């Protein structure tokens, strides 16, 4: 089936990134025809995301802009003109609602007319250390029509569908915003590993006179680690042998190859320098367990807090002598618990707003929420969105500028939206016993911050982070949105058409608009327009807002009246 039917133009406007920080509006980009296994979809709406800025600055150096090296056959990639790795111009935009307008004759599971939201992480398309993604090495949604291949958007390994079906009656903006909301959901819903990884790699360091305790009790019911590397003295070697464990022994960490990575690192001792040296071997998703044995470290420890977010590393500890004690303190997930006093740092930004709205929407018993930001207009905008939800659910909400009103007291849950490493150290200081620290902000991996691990361990704190989202997170948010349990439209602060898309990206960059910006690619001339200014240029659209919030009715009127 040809894509170039009367309903689909031969060319289209598209925002293209052609080099580092080089955005252009191409008014005549080709609209591709579908190949045998390909899908052409019309873009109904696309959200502009802070993550787009990382691609904007790094371009071909971004890990997800690299070539796909495995997971997708070469002939599939070669036949897909929207596959644009390396220095090829790409179309950004990964928060999208799309509708299928043409399919190739061999497409089996997608039909013309079906409506989808896009899960941007195409995990089977491996680009070196990460996966390829929609809006990166595959063209994204800041264009009117986008071409995809069914063999990529359905994961051959597990059958996962990266195009997720949605209801007709939902606003396109609400659908598109499921993607960023899914990233928020992921940070709460991801299950945490609470034992030594079964079948994994364990590095154990025991500094005399410490003794190995609670090791076998730390193992998973699914089995022990497959390989144990031990830096121990002769007495502890005998202890491991008595436990019936096979291990490779070393005299010091310097005997272990620099590139070796472990799923668990258990350190018995209290030397800051030794903790830092052992932590250098912590692999992606690894757990660093510090067993103090009744001692204290006595000085701050330099911790890679960026790897907590991007690498999924976790830090735990035991004030006593048993390694198992520390694993017992790991929560099952990152969810807010009944009775938590929640602090959202950087609450006024787009993602901070989502965390606040989610927290007050939960109505968990005894939960209260404090959001901080230095920008007064952002706090005002957030208050207009979140306060009615909080009041309806009986959740105390306080939004403050800490420069004007100091935030006092301890918190059971701290979510960090600002990628500033010292805020993690402050969170450790301000968390109450058993507190959770959600490092949601993308602090670059490799960023070290000195932390008071004595306080962290004594108070049984737990810091964690996630990057991106999974299909199950997207489905969870979609279902909440479709059941009216969560209004994703509350995130919208501005709208635009193709004429305002680049200005929208720059507004994300300079943080001049607090919430999300939604681009409607089918509108050509609409400039970037904050919702607060709709009354001046599009009064009939403004009349459809709900106390200033974006609605399906406002979207319908916008598409009817704007150009």
Tens-place pLDDT, residues 195-244: 999 999 999 999 888 899 999 999 999 999 999 999 999 989 998 998 88
Cα-only R_g, the chain: 25
Pairing of strands 462-464, 516-519: unpaired
Name the residue ranges covered by the structural domains of the chain: 11-167, 201-328, 341-467
Q: What is the dihedral of CA 380, 381, 385, 388, to 10 degrees?
A: 20
- Which segments of 97-166 does DSSP mark as H helices, in order? 150-153
Whole-prediction pTM value? 0.89
Tokens coding 424: 């993690």
Please give the span between the terminal C-alpha atoms of the chain, in angstroms, as a whole number: 30
| Helix/strand/coil for 143 | strand
DSSP string, 332-356: SSS---TT-EEEEETTTSHHHHHHH
Same fold, 201-328 and 341-467: yes
Residues of the chain with pLDDT under 70: 1-6, 363
Q: What is the pLDDT of residue 363?
A: 66
Q: What is the pLDDT of residue 5?
A: 47
Domain 201-328 falls under CATH 3.40.50.720: yes
Q: What is the pLDDT of residue 53?
A: 84
- Give the CATH fold of the 11-167 domain: Quinone Oxidoreductase; Chain A, domain 1 (3.90.180)
**341-467: CATH number:** 3.40.50.720
């Amino acid at each position: 089936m040809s894509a170039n039917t009367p309903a689909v133009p031969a060319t289209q406007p598209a925002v293209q990134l052609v080099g580092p920080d080089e955005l252009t509006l191409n008014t005549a980009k080709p609209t591709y025809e579908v190949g045998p296994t390909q899908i052409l979809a019309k873009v109904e709406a696309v959200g502009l995301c802070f993550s787009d800025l990382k691609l904007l600055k790094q371009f071909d150096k971004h890990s997800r802009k690299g070539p796909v090296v495995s997971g997708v056959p070469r002939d599939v990639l070669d036949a897909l003109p929207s596959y644009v790795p390396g220095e090829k111009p790409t179309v950004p935009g990964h928060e999208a609602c799309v509708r299928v307008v043409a399919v190739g004759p061999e497409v089996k599971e997608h039909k013309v007319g079906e409506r989808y939201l896009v899960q941007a992480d195409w995990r089977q398309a491996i680009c070196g250390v990460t996966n390829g993604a929609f809006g990166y090495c595959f063209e994204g949604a800041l264009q009117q029509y986008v071409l995809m291949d069914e063999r990529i958007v359905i994961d051959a390994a597990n059958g996962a569908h990266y195009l997720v079906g949605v209801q007709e009656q939902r606003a396109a903006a609400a659908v598109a915003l499921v993607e960023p909301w899914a990233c928020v959901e992921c940070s709460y819903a991801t299950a945490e590993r609470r034992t030594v990884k079964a079948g994994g790699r364990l590095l154990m360091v025991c500094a005399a006179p410490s003794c190995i305790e609670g090791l076998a009790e730390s193992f998973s019911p699914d089995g022990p680690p497959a390989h144990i590397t031990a830096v121990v003295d002769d007495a502890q070697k005998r202890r491991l042998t008595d436990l019936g464990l096979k291990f490779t022994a070393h005299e010091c960490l310097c005997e272990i190859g620099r590139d070796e990575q472990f799923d668990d690192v258990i350190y018995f001792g209290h030397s800051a320098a030794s903790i830092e040296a052992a932590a250098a071997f912590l692999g992606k998703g690894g757990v660093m367990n510090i067993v103090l044995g009744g001692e204290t470290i006595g000085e701050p420890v330099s911790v890679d807090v960026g790897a907590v977010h991007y690498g999924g590393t976790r830090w735990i500890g035991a004030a006593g002598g048993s390694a198992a004690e520390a694993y017992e303190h790991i929560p099952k997930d990152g969810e807010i618990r009944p009775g938590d006093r929640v602090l959202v740092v950087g609450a006024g930004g787009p993602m901070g707003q989502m965390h606040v709205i989610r927290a007050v929407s939960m109505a968990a018993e005894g939960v209260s929420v404090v959001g901080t930001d230095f920008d007064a207009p952002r706090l005002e905008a957030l208050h207009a969105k979140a306060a009615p939800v909080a009041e309806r659910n009986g959740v105390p909400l306080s939004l403050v500028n800490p420069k004007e009103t100091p935030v006092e007291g301890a918190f059971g849950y701290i979510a960090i939206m600002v990628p500033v490493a010292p805020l993690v150290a402050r969170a450790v200081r301000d968390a109450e016993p058993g507190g959770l620290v959600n490092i949601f902000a993308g602090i670059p991996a490799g960023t070290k911050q000195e932390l008071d691990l004595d306080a962290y361990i004594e108070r049984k704190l737990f810091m964690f982070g996630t990057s991106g989202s999974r299909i199950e997170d997207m489905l969870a948010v979609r279902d909440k949105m479709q059941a009216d349990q969560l209004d994703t439209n509350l995130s919208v602060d501005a709208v635009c058409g193709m004429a305002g898309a680049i200005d929208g990206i720059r507004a994300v960059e300079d943080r001049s608009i607090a919430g999300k910006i939604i681009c409607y690619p089918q509108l050509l001339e609409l400039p970037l327009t904050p919702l607060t200014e709709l009354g001046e240029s599009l009064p009939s659209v403004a009349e459809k807002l709900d106390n200033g919030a974006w609605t399906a009715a406002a979207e319908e009127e916008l598409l009817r009246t704007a150009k």
